[in-house]
Structure 1
Amino acid sequence: MNLAPESPPARSEDLCSRHRAVLSKIENAMPAGGRTNPTLLAVSKTQDASRIRALAACGQRRFGENYVQEALAKQDVLADLALEWHLIGPLQSNKAKPAAERFDWIQSVDRDKLVHALARHRPLGRPPLNILIQVNIDDEDSKSGCAPGAIAGLADAIASHERLRLRGLMAIPEPHPDPRERARAFEALRRLQADLAARHPGVDTLSMGMSGDFELAIAHGATLVRVGTALFGPRAPAEA
């Protein structure tokens, strides 16, 4: 994907206001006496580098991208900023090398082939690559992710590589209009995460919840929420 050069810096007032609002909602969604506030991951797919820079000026440091090539172009433009980059979209095996070299987290590992490719390509000069296993919790044909029964084998494979660090699970539950159904999926993920942490004590991250349901996800144990629209505003329609 070819990106135009970075445009003049975007005005940050609206972005900072949205950022503060989301952080406040995250804090308010935490159960009383609960754990520390979940991490906010700003989903910056389709956003140009100037808007990422503007949100970074508001204090946001963690950004999630869906496509490796799009992310690499932005990383080059924003190399002067100390940002943490997460790949949250499906990863093709032929993109494993640049993903392993340039990202801090891969949240979409769902098969053995990716595990071994990422471990092989992670540079020795960088810390181990943080890995989340993506779970297809609602068994949707249109979604990436492994079946719940495959988590244990994938986790063992990840843990066997010193260049990788198993951190937990990620999922995109079906956007069911009934909040009770979404809550059911989130609770199922929380139980899977607890089982995984019992076998791998270093596991500490459950990535679930997006702009429309992150508060519900937090109530059911999310430690990282992926928010795009609530931060950047609605995306413009794709150009023909």
Structure 2
Amino acid sequence: MTPQLTDKYMVTIAERLTSAYARIANAAKNAQRNSSEITLLAVSKTKPSTDIAAAYEHGQRQFGESYVQEAVDKIAQLSALSDITWHFIGPIQSNKSALVAQHFDWVQSVDRIKIAKRLNTQRLADFPPLNVLIQVNISTEEAKSGCSVDQIPELAEFISQCEQLTLRGLMAIPAKSDDPAEQIQSFEQLQTCFDKLKAQYPHIDTLSMGMSGDVEAAISAGSTMVRIGTDIFGTRT
């Protein structure tokens, strides 16, 4: 059953979502790009299903989650909204990979062959292939998930041979910076990796980079998907 919403609650989420789309459109214009090339992924982790339902009522269909059990519960609660596309964007633990494989449409955080192999095996045969992005640790931070740049070719080759996975592109979360020049430099490094990968796999189409704090820099560097949470749903507790 879809959670019930109050008009006041819906307006708040709707206004924030409208602002997020306007921000993307403005950034695309400044970068001389078409905003239709850029997908907004509403990052709903830690937020209740009522928040997701409110965004859905305003036309949002792409949602990102980082915590497996929390996400699976919300997917069940919102099962009546059958056209939602669910993206898993958090680190994947081996003991949770089956839940990810069986409940999500996209996984943006594949960073090693072991996880790709498990997702491929655990994806149900009658499901469409799981859309996969390789997460790259573009800033080489020790505490951050993601493969290194030089590991991309081997991982991409493995994924491309998996019947239940479809390689769609790359994702990264660069080191946090308030300096637009530093932001763009990190994003351009990932764009270069994406271009090299696309030369080998022409079907890939998704470069997921940019969040609430660096949307403009990401779009100027070629992002095709930005992940926005705080600016839509408010600060997480």
TM-score tier (shorter):
over 0.9
- Distance, in Å, in 1 between the alignment partners of 2:175 and 2:123 is 32
Match of 2:168 in 1: 167
Match of 1:127 in 2: 128
Match of 1:193 in 2: 194
Q: CA contact under 8 A between 2:25 and 2:35: conserved in structure 1? A: no
Q: Identity rate of aligned residues, in percent? A: 47
Deviations 1:59-103 (A, max 9, x none): 001100001111000001000002110000000111111111110
Which of 2, 26, 29 matches 2:27?
29
More moved, 28-37 vs 163-172: 28-37
The structural deviation recorded for 1:177 is 2.5
- Distance, in Å, in 1 between the alignment partners of 2:168 and 2:96 is 21
Match of 1:43 in 2: 43
Q: How many matched pairs?
A: 232
Match of 1:145 in 2: 146
1:161/1:219 Cα in 2 relative to 1: closer, same or farther (>3 Å)?
same
1:67/1:124 Cα in 2 relative to 1: closer, same or farther (>3 Å)?
same
Deviations 1:130-154 (A, max 9, x none): 0000000010011000000000000
- Distance, in Å, in 1 between the alignment partners of 2:178 and 2:162 is 40
Q: CA contact under 8 A between 1:207 and 1:226: conserved in structure 2? A: yes
Q: CA contact under 8 A between 2:111 and 2:135: conserved in structure 1? A: yes
- Distance, in Å, in 2 between the alignment partners of 1:20 and 1:35 is 14
The structural deviation recorded for 1:157 is 0.3
The structural deviation recorded for 1:34 is 4.4
Question: How well do the aligned residues superpose, as a CA RMSD in angstroms?
Answer: 1.5
Q: CA contact under 8 A between 2:24 and 2:35: conserved in structure 1? A: no
Q: CA contact under 8 A between 1:6 and 1:48: conserved in structure 2? A: no
- Distance, in Å, in 2 between the alignment partners of 1:54 and 1:94 is 32
Taking structure 2 as the reference length, the TM-score comes to 0.94
1:62/1:153 Cα in 2 relative to 1: closer, same or farther (>3 Å)?
same
**Structure 1 counterpart of 2:26, which letter?**
N
The structural deviation recorded for 1:234 is 1.4
- Distance, in Å, in 2 between the alignment partners of 1:35 and 1:225 is 11
1:33/1:47 Cα in 2 relative to 1: closer, same or farther (>3 Å)?
closer
- Distance, in Å, in 1 between the alignment partners of 2:186 and 2:115 is 25
Unpaired segments of 5 or more residues in structure 1? none
Q: CA contact under 8 A between 1:61 and 1:83: conserved in structure 2? A: yes
- Distance, in Å, in 1 between the alignment partners of 2:88 and 2:136 is 15
**Structure 2 counterpart of 1:9, which letter?**
L
Residue 9 (str. 1) matches residue 5 (str. 2): yes
More helix by share: 2
- Distance, in Å, in 2 between the alignment partners of 1:201 and 1:122 is 24
For 1:75-154, list aligned pairs within 5 A: 75-81=75-81, 82-154=83-155
The structural deviation recorded for 1:179 is 1.6
Q: 3-state DSSP class of the match of 2:217?
A: helix
Residue 53 (str. 1) matches residue 53 (str. 2): yes
